[in-house]
Amino acid sequence: MHNTATPFIKRDGINWVSVAVFSVFHVGAVIALFFFTWPAFVAALVLYWVSLSLGIGMGYHRLLTHRSFQTSRWIKYFLAVCGTLALEGGPISWVATHRIHHQFSDKPGDPHTPRDGKWWAHIIWTLVGDSTHSRTAECSRYAPDLYSDRFLVLLSKYNYVPLLIVSVLLLAFGGVDFLLWGVFFRVTMGLHATWMVNSLTHFWGRRRFTTRDDSRNNWLVALLSFGEGWHNNHHAHPTSARHGLAWYEIDMSWMAIRVLQFLGLANSVHVAGL
């Protein structure tokens, strides 16, 4: 029987929607290599930063999940919209899944622990069952605070719309090369960067802190994910807005939060002390 103390994780049955979408994007990423142009590549880099650093790192993760800083409603909404461009689902399901990961990190109930297999942690967990609990009670159980915000509820329901709009704009004003690089190649690389936080940083890297899980700091993942790869630091101090705690641990999402703080647009910024 299912233990009610842990979340219900449906791991049986292929999630054909995820399989189809991820397959199309991976094929599109390969095709993009034959349509390379520097303007399209630069557009992809900018959108990569917008979606992963502003959207996932700052918005979904540090602001909505851990509330490591506070900002105005409109900046919060902007960051959340940026997060949808990463094709990692809506903010509510993302937050619920990540909070579950922290509560049961590398224990029974963790959605993507490498203890269940390295490839499971990286990608397979997204291809079976209802991996992000988007249609289960787990979202309301683990992210009740977000359900009180009508905009975030609406954005979660129609999380594909911002990416669809960006796709149309890129195709209309840049052409096929901009669409392939700015959407298909960029999204695919961003997904793998995020998945590496789930997989690689739980078995490859250094451990500054003794935590109850296997989290590690990995400079390569940190570089690709704008600071999310300092994962052991994060698990030791989950409410810290700064993940790269040493001077040499580059954390671009933290730098952006500092800019907001300097401009008076971010407050109640929590930072772990060493």
Residue 22 has pLDDT above 60, yes or no: yes
Q: Compute the average pLDDT of residues 84-107.
A: 95
pLDDT recorded at residue 51: 98
pLDDT recorded at residue 54: 98
Q: Please tell me the least confidently modeled range out of 18-22, 93-97, 132-136, 222-226.
A: 132-136
Based on the structure, what is the number of domains in the chain?
Answer: 1
Residue 3 lies in a domain: no
Residue 1 lies in a domain: no
Question: Bridge-partner residues for 217, per DSSP?
Answer: 206, 230
CA torsion, ordered 187, 231, 61, 98, to nearest 10 deg: 90
Residue 146 lies in a domain: yes
Residue 168 lies in a domain: yes
Residue 7 lies in a domain: no
Q: Compute the average pLDDT of residues 87-114.
A: 95
Residue 101 lies in a domain: yes
With bands split at pLDDT 50, 70 and 90, how would you rate the model's confidence at 107?
A: very high
Q: Fill in the amino acid letter for 128.
A: V
With bands split at pLDDT 50, 70 and 90, how would you rate the model's confidence at 268?
A: very high
The contacts of residue 72 (CB under 8 Å, 6+ apart) are 265
pLDDT recorded at residue 172: 98
pLDDT recorded at residue 95: 96
Please name which of 65, 86, 235, 87 lies closest in space to residue 76, comparing C-alpha atoms.
65
Residue 9 lies in a domain: no
| pLDDT tens track for 23-81 | 999 999 999 999 999 999 999 999 999 999 999 999 999 999 999 999 999 999 999 99
Higher per-residue confidence, 130 vs 240: 240
| pLDDT tens track for 171-227 | 999 999 999 999 999 999 999 999 999 999 999 999 999 999 999 999 999 999 999
Residue 94 lies in a domain: yes
Q: Phi then psi for 6, rounded to 5 degrees?
A: -115, 155
For residue 234, the enclosing domain spans 16-267
- 155 neighbors 81 (Cβ within 8 angstroms): yes
Q: Compute the average pLDDT of residues 230-253.
A: 97
Residue 1 has pLDDT above 50, yes or no: no
Structure tokens at 55: 């959207």
| pLDDT tens track for 113-161 | 999 999 999 999 999 877 555 555 568 889 999 999 999 999 999 999 9
Higher per-residue confidence, 8 vs 49: 49
CA distance 199 to 99: 16
Residue 2 has pLDDT above 60, yes or no: no
Higher per-residue confidence, 159 vs 273: 159
